[in-house]
Each structure stands twice: as structure tokens, then as C-alpha cells.
Amino acid sequence: MSQVIQYERVGDIAVLASNNPPVNALGYDVRIGLVEGIERAEQDGAKAVLIYGEGRTFFAGADIREFGKPPKEPFLPDVCSRIEASHLIVVSSLHGTALGGGLEIALGSHYRIAVPSARVGLPEVLIGVMPGAGGTQRLPRLIGIDGSLDIITSGRQVGAKEALDLGILDKVAEGTPREIGLAYAQELLDSGAGRRPIRDMDAPAAVDFDALYEAVLKKSRGQLAPAVAVRGIQAACELPFDKGMKRERDLFMELMATDQRQGLIHAFFAERTVGKLPEIDGIAPRDLNALGVIGGGTMGAGIATSALLSGLNVTMLEMTPEAAAAAKGRIQKNLGGALKRGKISQDKYEDLTEKALSLTTSYDDLGDVDLVIEAVFEDMDVKKTVFTQLDAVCKPGAILASNTSYLNVDEIAAVTKRPQDVIGLHFFSPAHVMKLLEVVVADKTAPDVVATGFALGKKMGKVSVRAGVCDGFIGNRILSTYRTCADHMILDGASPYQIDVALEKFGFAMGPYAVADLAGLDIGWAVRKRKRAEGLDPAARDSTYADKICEDGHFGQKTGMGYYDYSAGPKSRVPNPQVIPLIEGDRDAQGISPREFTEDEIVRRYMASMVNEAAKVVGEGIALRPLDVDVTLLYGYGFPRYRGGPMKWADMVGLPELLADIQKWAKDDPYFWQAAPLLEQLVAEGRTFDDLNKEAS
């Protein structure tokens, strides 16, 4: 008998309890245990079977760690069918998250009950596959096409109440899954209810599935799984049950073989690994209740909003009462959005804005905060003044954090008498929306301060990545390189619009020039001025067209004009006719005859520059592992999740090919295309970035 499925008789009911922590994933032992349990129940005279999970959840899905390995019998679809075929009444009792294969087991059962907090769903498309154990065949028979299409193609989790209304669940009751399951099974036996296999229910009438397929494909922006899943639902409507199951399995296996599946599963595990750091293993974070925020602009107000929503008290410091009032207005506006979307109640809104938030213009009011985040102007002297003042007023042990996006945190820490308490916490704008947090660890930052940075990120619902100190840390340093690569392609003959289209087809939410317009062209302008003032390497290529756009007062969306003309609204994106002549002016001045670029070459160069810089970032220890870069780009820079991140993409394209491209382009521009030593080393050793991830875990 399997170790993870415990068998027990309670009167007429055979109880199969799964105990496979942490999430009762349906690995081999669980599958074999379920089949054995059903067989045993049938042989020892039980009249009903109850299936439930011990611990935090019912089965949360197939064991994703088994994906890509040779499958071992019994396969999950057969387990579900075996449960369904039993002559006993089978009840599944759900709690936690009954997802994917978990819900499919429940759908193979004859009745389903859940606790009120349970959630169900078929999230397979989120990891690049589709339900493969009858989900696309049974759910439409149970709840019809519309509900199934929504649940299967979105992968969203459905709360117990909604699942009851939809007909996925038969009953919702308070109690433990064991108690409510036993009571329900007994009730069914007492009432003489019969078996109720979903396979015997009528399938819905077919609709225009080609149109649905196209609509879903368009909505998923390059991701295949949701559209392929539509074909599974189609099979449920057009084929007999067993043939539908076979078709579903074939479609599932097709998706299993894709790069997208590899990319999405890499992303799934990378975001769970990124917070696992040897340096904070077993280290308790410091107490965190009251937060200070210096500066109530867009960034500071976003950070304060996020902190308030995560239950922290916030003291916001501004220079003048007027500025403090404006900061409060911004926070109220942000929280008003949460109120409108039903995320918080009116009472909660009042509490957060009137009680949990206080505003001040005096540093003395920061004496009691546990952690203070500075979000003032990006200027080293200004930051140093702020940190000197914080050092004077903050209590011993308070953490002093800077939200700088590129300045040297060691230099900031050095103006205090407590460099061990200083850290960088780089949020992304708007900070109450964007999920990425770079935790920037300076030379002297204490481990429990690092642990507190990660604890804060977790409290705020962020994905936190550890970064070392360098200009731009992980994300902005890599961004600066691939943006430069795009700028070079423009000088050589590509247009910003062609580049945006090529990268949007690759899967980025927005191309780099549309992003620049959104972020504000003045930001890049300021960085260019700073870098020129510091002195550019004479070998570096430079251009002036972007400065000229700014000199004309065009800063992108906020002024209505940038690379694009937004006079018809922020989404209209008509190319600004002044841009191409400015670019041509630069080409003429530098004696460049423009050449054609294919979309393929644009993507290859852009991605190679990104991966090469990322390899330098990993090689220098700025990012701990390649997966930390992947998570940064996925959560902060709109990188398509189904490609797994730039390092995973590079592994799949092949590092030798990538290096060969870089070496070829270096013949024309040896300054820009300097191959990363780590990339050269991996190619020489025949290894991949993922090998480095594995070695580090």
C-alpha cells in the first residue's frame, strides 16, 4: 500500500486521505495509492469512498517536477477514469487549492463538496500545457461551454461560492475536509443517491470553435496553450467521451513538447527559488511594523500605498505642508483605485488614509519607525543629506533604505554611522502595482537587514530579487545595454517603429520606444547628460536625435508627443513625423548609409545584447544566479513569461550560436560587442545557464 494515501474504514465509507506535503501534488506515489485505495474499498464491502487531502490543501495539481521526464503508470487520466468507473459512490472533499489534476480527480469523482475558503481551477495554461486528465472533457459536460472556456483558457482560480453557483461543486460546508466529506457521503448513502459519472452526462452542442480558437489566440499574445485548450473543449462537444479523452491527451502531449512549456515552468520555479538565499537562511528578519517614507512623489506615494495595503503604519515625510498634502492626495488616489476595484472596503480606506498614514515635515517624527525608505530626487548629494539626517534621528536598529535606481548604495551608506543597517530597496513605478523589488545589498549590509528587505517584499506581495551594487543594479544595467543596442540599430537603418513591432511580435508587452514614451523621455535624457558629463569612452557610439526630441519639449505620453504622437489618446501610437528626419540627420552627420534590418535580426541583436550583459551581471556576482536575472526581466521589464526570461531563452536558442553572433558583430563594433567571460566559459565547457541555477540550489 502506498505510503502517502492512508486507507481507513468509517462505517460504510472507505476514506482515502492523501498526505504528500507540501501541496499534495499528484506524483507517482499518490496516483498509485489512489488506484489501490479504490480497489481495496471495492473489495472490502464499502458503499462509498471519500477522497480528501491532509495538510494545507487538496491535490494542487500534477507533480510539475515530473514534467519532461518519462511518465510512469498509472497516468493521471487513467486514475481519474478508474475513480469514475468505480461501482461505489465517490466523493471528493476539497480545501485549499484544488487545481489542475486536483480538480480533475474531483471531476472524476461522483460528488464534490468543499469548505468555503477552497478554490478550484485548471491553471495548466499558466505553465504552458492544458488539462490532460479529462478536465476539458468533463468540465464542459458539467457546466457548459462558456464557463469552461473562461476557466480553462484563463487558468484563474475560482472561489468555492462561485464554483457552487457554476455547478462545479455540489455543496459547500464549514468544517474540516474530513468531517464535511464524511457527513456528505453518509447523507448521500442515506438518501439512496446513485453514482453520477460526468462521462455519462450529455456534452454541450458544438459552437463555432474555429472563431473561438482565433479569438483566444489573439488575446493570449503569442502564447499557444490557451488556444490549443479550446480544441480540447471542441473535442468534448464533437466526439464520444473516450475519443475526446484521447484527443485531449494528444493535444496535451503536443504542448508538453513546446519551448513555451519549458519557459513557463522555468518561470514558475524561478520565482519560488529567487528568495532562497544562503546568506539569509535561518536568519530572522528585524521587527517591521512602522515604515517611514521620504518623498511623496509618484514613487514614494506608490511605496506608501503598497506598505499601507500590506498592514504597515506609514509616516510620510515631505519638505513642506503643501507637498505633504499633495503626497497624501496621491496616496488617496491610489487607495481609491483599490476601493473602486473592491480590494478594500470604505471603512478600510478611511482607516488606511486617516489612521495608518501620518504626514510630517519633521525628521524627528521618524524616530520610532522600524524601516525608512528614501524616495527623493536621484542625486547623490541630496541622498547623502537625507541619510545624514536619518542617521541622526532614527532609533538604533532601524533600517535605512534607499529607493535609488542606479546610485552607489555603498557611498550612501558611508555617510552614516551604521552602514550595516543601510540597504537599497529598488521599487518599480507605479510601486503599488509593479511586482518587482530589487533588494540591493551593499558591502556592509547585515544579513538580518537583507532578510528584512525580503520580508518586506513578501508582506507587500512583491517578488524580490537580490542584487549587488553597480550602476543600475540588475535590471536597469541590462536595460541600458539592450536599449543602446536598439539605438545602434536605428543609426544603422532600422526605425523605432520597426523595432517596437519586432519585439512586440517576440512577446514583449511593449517595444522599447513605446516604453520610453510611457516612462518619460526626460529620464533617459538626464542619464545621457550625466554619462556624457562623466566622459564617454571615445569608442562608444553616440547619437543626438533622442535629445533633440526632448529639446522640442516632447517627453512622451505625458506631453502627448515622443517617438509617437498621442494626440488621439494614449493608445493611438501614430509615429511622430519629426523623428525620422532627426534620425536621418544623425546618420548624415556620422556618414552612415542606412541598411535594411529584418525583424529576425532585430530580435537576435537585441536579445544577444541583453543576454551578454546579463551574463556579465551574473559573472560579476551582481545577480546570484541566471534565474535571478530571468525573474527581474519577467517582473520588471515586460519580458514574455512564456519564454522563461532571457537566460532561459538563451539556453533554448543555444549559447554557442549566441556567442558566434556576438563575435561576428564585434568585428564591426568591438567596443559594444565584448563577449561576457561567463558566456565564453559556458560555451567552452558545453554548459548552460540552467546548469548554473542547478549548481546553486
Residues of the shown chain interacting with ligand COA in the complex, contacts defined by CB under 6 A: 22-23, 25, 60-65, 97, 99-101, 123-124, 127, 272
Which of 364, 294, 289, 300 minimizes the C-alpha distance to 329? 300
- Chain position carrying cell 554548459: 687
| Number of other CB atoms surrounding residue 150 within 10 Å | 13
3-class DSSP string for 186-212: HHHHHHCCCCCCHHHCCCCCCCCHHHH
Q: Using CA atoms, how far apart are residues 489 and 582, in angstroms rounded to an integer?
A: 15
Active-site residue, selected from the candidate residues 104, 248, 374, 613: 104
Which runs of E-coded beta strand occur in 444-556? Answer: 463-467
Of the pair 4, 127, the CB lying nearest ligand COA is at 127
Of the pair 25, 41, the CB lying nearest ligand COA is at 25
- Least CB distance to ligand COA at residue 157 (A): 8
Q: Using CA atoms, how far apart are residues 130 and 148, in angstroms rounded to an integer?
A: 12
- Least CB distance to ligand COA at residue 365 (A): 36
Cα distances (angstroms) measured from residue 278 to each of 273, 281, 399, 451, 644: 11, 5, 21, 11, 24
Which helix (H) or strand (E) element contains residue 20?
A: none
174 a catalytic residue: no
Cis previous bond, 22, omega within 30: yes
- Least CB distance to ligand COA at residue 543 (A): 45
Of the pair 177, 524, the CB lying nearest ligand COA is at 177
Are the beta carbons of 146 and 216 closer than 8 angstroms?
Answer: no
Q: Using CA atoms, how far apart are residues 397 and 372, in angstroms rounded to an integer?
A: 11
- Least CB distance to ligand COA at residue 56 (A): 7
Of the pair 256, 582, the CB lying nearest ligand COA is at 256
Active-site residue, selected from the candidate residues 124, 271, 374, 438: 124
Of the pair 11, 461, the CB lying nearest ligand COA is at 461
Of the pair 60, 516, the CB lying nearest ligand COA is at 60
Are the beta carbons of 137 and 248 closer than 8 angstroms?
Answer: yes
Which of 523, 602, 504 minimizes the C-alpha distance to 562? 523
Q: Using CA atoms, how far apart are residues 227 and 231, in angstroms rounded to an integer?
A: 7
For the chain, how long is the longest CA-to-CA vector?
A: 90
- Least CB distance to ligand COA at residue 466 (A): 16
Of the pair 268, 525, the CB lying nearest ligand COA is at 268
- Least CB distance to ligand COA at residue 228 (A): 15
For residue 611, count CB atoms less than 10 angstroms from its CB and return exposed for 0-12, middle for 13-18, buried for 19 or more: buried
Between helices 475-492 and 626-636, what is the axis angle to 10°? 70
User: How many residues in the chain?
Assistant: 697
- Eight-class DSSP state of 98: E
Work out the end-to-end distance of the chain between its first and last CA atoms, rounded to an integer number of angstroms.
33
Are the beta carbons of 602 and 511 closer than 8 angstroms?
Answer: no
Counting Cα atoms < 13 Å in the Cβ hemisphere of 68 gives 13
- Chain position carrying cell 564591426: 668
Of the pair 44, 150, the CB lying nearest ligand COA is at 150
Q: What is the chain's Cα-based Rg? A: 28
Cis previous bond, 594, omega within 30: no
- Least CB distance to ligand COA at residue 77 (A): 12
- Least CB distance to ligand COA at residue 495 (A): 41
Q: Beta strands 48-53 and 13-18: pairing type?
A: parallel
Q: Using CA atoms, how far apart are residues 58 and 47, in angstroms rounded to an integer?
A: 22
- Least CB distance to ligand COA at residue 368 (A): 33
- Least CB distance to ligand COA at residue 71 (A): 13
Are the beta carbons of 15 and 55 closer than 8 angstroms?
Answer: no
Of the pair 129, 375, the CB lying nearest ligand COA is at 129
- Chain position carrying cell 501534488: 25
Q: Using CA atoms, how far apart are residues 502 and 460, in angstroms rounded to an integer?
A: 35
For residue 675, count CB atoms less than 10 angstroms from its CB and return exposed for 0-12, middle for 13-18, buried for 19 or more: middle
| Number of other CB atoms surrounding residue 430 within 10 Å | 16
Between helices 475-492 and 599-619, what is the axis angle to 10°? 150
For residue 207, count CB atoms less than 10 angstroms from its CB and return exposed for 0-12, middle for 13-18, buried for 19 or more: middle
- Least CB distance to ligand COA at residue 64 (A): 4
- Eight-class DSSP state of 561: B
Cα distances (angstroms) measured from residue 437 to each of 191, 452, 459, 565, 627: 55, 13, 12, 32, 15
Of the pair 25, 50, the CB lying nearest ligand COA is at 25
Q: Using CA atoms, how far apart are residues 91 and 107, in angstroms rounded to an integer?
A: 10
- Least CB distance to ligand COA at residue 26 (A): 8
Would you call 417 helix, strand, or coil by DSSP?
A: coil
Of the pair 272, 340, the CB lying nearest ligand COA is at 272
Of the pair 9, 276, the CB lying nearest ligand COA is at 276
Of the pair 25, 369, the CB lying nearest ligand COA is at 25
- Least CB distance to ligand COA at residue 294 (A): 32
378 a catalytic residue: no
- Active site amino acids: 104, 124
